[in-house]
């Protein structure tokens, strides 16, 4: 690889989307800090077994409004980084689709935990949009069944208690192994196997930077740890990366 064009891998967690109005799980004001029982709403066993859990989950999805959220300055900064011409891959734990909506090409975003933009039936596999399902909830269906077979509908996300797609995690690991710079943004780095990606990158010789409000298990391995708000820290970091690359190539 051309040393003047380092491959930059950016792993993003829930913290990057909080400024878009989507709460995180483990942060100081996270969903689970406010209501520890909310973990059941995104855990596959309770979700499939308990209609009351599903009803609460549908209400949570409607209230959070991730389908209507807009990219914030952090998302837009990564889109700017990609437009600069530097090789960039985003490995996201988020399911909100905000990276793609910010202008990042879809093929440069690896969604580790799937997407919340669609729902599927656990019985027949039929798919529809999350927006359609939430419209049904708003119309009075507390736990909308599959329109095709009456089965249970669930989001097209990896819920807690489920393994990540082996092909997706293999792609992410390959990026982590190949990158020169690895930036972890807004992630507690506690959920595996995704949380192992910074270590894979570091062992491969990449420079590790962590942007997160609270300490992570990998802070001591990082060359830089940034505690400032992501919506301001990430744009500044991106500007620095672009400036460094421009200076290295001698471009104006």
Residue positions annotated with a catalytic role = 113
Closest CA to 67 of 104, 107, 96: 96
74 CB-contact burial (10 Å; exposed 0-12 / middle 13-18 / buried 19+): buried
Task: For tokens 């066993």, name the residue.
Answer: 45
Instruction: Give the C-alpha separation, 137 to 40, whole Å.
Output: 19
Bridge-partner residues for 153, per DSSP?
A: 121
Alpha helix positions (H), 6-107: 31-34, 44-49, 51-64, 73-83, 98-101
Whole-angstrom distance, CA of residue 132 vs CA of residue 245: 44
Provide the 10 A C-beta neighbour count for residue 54.
20
Specify the 3-state DSSP secondary structure of 127: strand
Cα separation values, 125 from 58, 128, 150, 211, Å: 19, 10, 11, 38
Q: Considering only CA atoms, which of 58, 29, 245 is closest in space to residue 145?
A: 58
State how far Cα 141 lies from the chain centre.
29
Listed residue (193, 121, 199, 128) closest to 162, CA to CA = 193
DSSP 114: E
- As beta bridge partners, residue 129 has 118
């Amino acid at each position: 690889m051309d040393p003047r064009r380092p491959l930059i891998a950016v792993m993003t967690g829930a913290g990057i989307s909080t400024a878009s109005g989507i709460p995180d799980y483990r942060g100081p004001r996270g969903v689970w800090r406010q209501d520890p029982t909310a973990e059941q709403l995104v855990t596959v066993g309770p979700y499939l077994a308990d209609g009351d859990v599903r009803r609460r989950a549908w209400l949570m999805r409607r209230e959070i409004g991730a389908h209507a959220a807009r990219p914030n300055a952090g998302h837009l900064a990564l889109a700017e980084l990609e437009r600069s011409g530097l090789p960039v891959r985003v490995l996201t734990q988020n399911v909100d689709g905000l990276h793609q909506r910010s202008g990042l090409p879809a093929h440069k975003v690896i969604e580790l935990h799937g997407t919340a933009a669609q729902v599927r039936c656990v019985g027949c596999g039929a798919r529809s949009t999350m927006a359609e399902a939430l419209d049904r909830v708003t119309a009075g269906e507390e736990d909308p069944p599959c329109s095709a077979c009456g089965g249970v509908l669930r989001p097209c996300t990896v819920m807690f208690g489920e393994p990540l797609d082996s092909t997706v995690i293999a792609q992410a690991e390959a990026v982590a192994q190949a990158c020169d710079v690895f930036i972890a943004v807004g992630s507690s780095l506690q959920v595996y196997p995704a949380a192992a990606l910074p270590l894979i990158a570091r062992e491969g010789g990449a420079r590790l930077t962590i942007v997160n409000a609270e300490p992570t298990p990998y802070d001591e391995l990082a060359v830089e740890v940034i505690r400032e708000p992501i919506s301001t820290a990430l744009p500044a970091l991106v500007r620095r990366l672009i400036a460094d690359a421009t200076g290295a190539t001698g471009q104006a």
